[in-house]
Amino acid sequence: DTEVTQTPKHLVMGMTNKKSLKCEQHMGHRAMYWYKQKAKKPPELMFVYSYEKLSINESVPSRFSPECPNSSLLNLHLHALQPEDSALYLCASSQAQGVPRPQHFGDGTRLSIL
Amino acid sequence: SQQGEEDPQALSIQEGENATMNCSYKTSINNLQWYRQNSGRGLVHLILIRSNEREKHSGRLRVTLDTSKKSSSLLITASRAADTASYFCATDGAGNTGKLIFGQGTTLQVKP
């Protein structure tokens, strides 16, 4: 069992749909991350939240909209996605941004865009 | 672009043998981490080595770091079928941003 919980595990959506991915951690971590991982590739950072504020946006298209409602929750809102956005979306958390500590990952949401 | 490069890309060994994976990176770092990813799962942190450390052990894992060569290696001793997974190195750069850049990964298969 992982300490970072992501829902849903799988999501199929059309290009005109709006959906949200959710991530939750109860380790008291103050940094949370979204990564995108294509098959047989390493994870690529999308966003970093530090103390509930957006700290890093890796030039991600605006059809991906992150939100951090509180220190335990992280959402990724999806709208008008493209087929190339199909991937595994991983959420992670760490004690604090910039502190040399491990990142704890959830098992991801496998997203398919029709 | 990804900072870390790993080799080999794929490794197949028999249970009980040792597995060595190598990682090279391009810029200065504060620390380097190794992660494991089982098929269909998230990444699991294995070990973190700081830039002023040369070697670190954790159970059957041994990590070395050579900052002069900008390289690291992960050794798994006495491998088990359960070690079958992809292994990634990740560097943080020198800016303390918390941003991890992952290598391309090594896929390890341990045959029973």
Question: A30 near A50, Cβ under 8 Å?
Answer: yes
Nearest by CB to B31, which of A50, A100, A107?
A: A100
Contacts of B48 in chain A (CB under 8 A): 100-102
Q: What is the pLDDT of residues A13-68, one digit of tens each?
A: 998 899 999 999 999 999 999 999 999 999 999 999 999 999 999 999 999 999 99
Residues 6+ apart with CB under 8 A from B10: B106, B107, B108, B109
A14 CB-side CA count, 13 A: 2
Interface contact A103, partner B, CB < 8 A: yes
Q: Do B42 and A105 touch (CB under 8 A)?
A: yes
The tens digit of pLDDT for each residue in B54-98 reads 999 999 999 999 999 999 999 999 999 999 999 999 998 766 677
Query: Up-side HSE of residue A61: CA atoms within 13 Å toward CB?
Result: 9
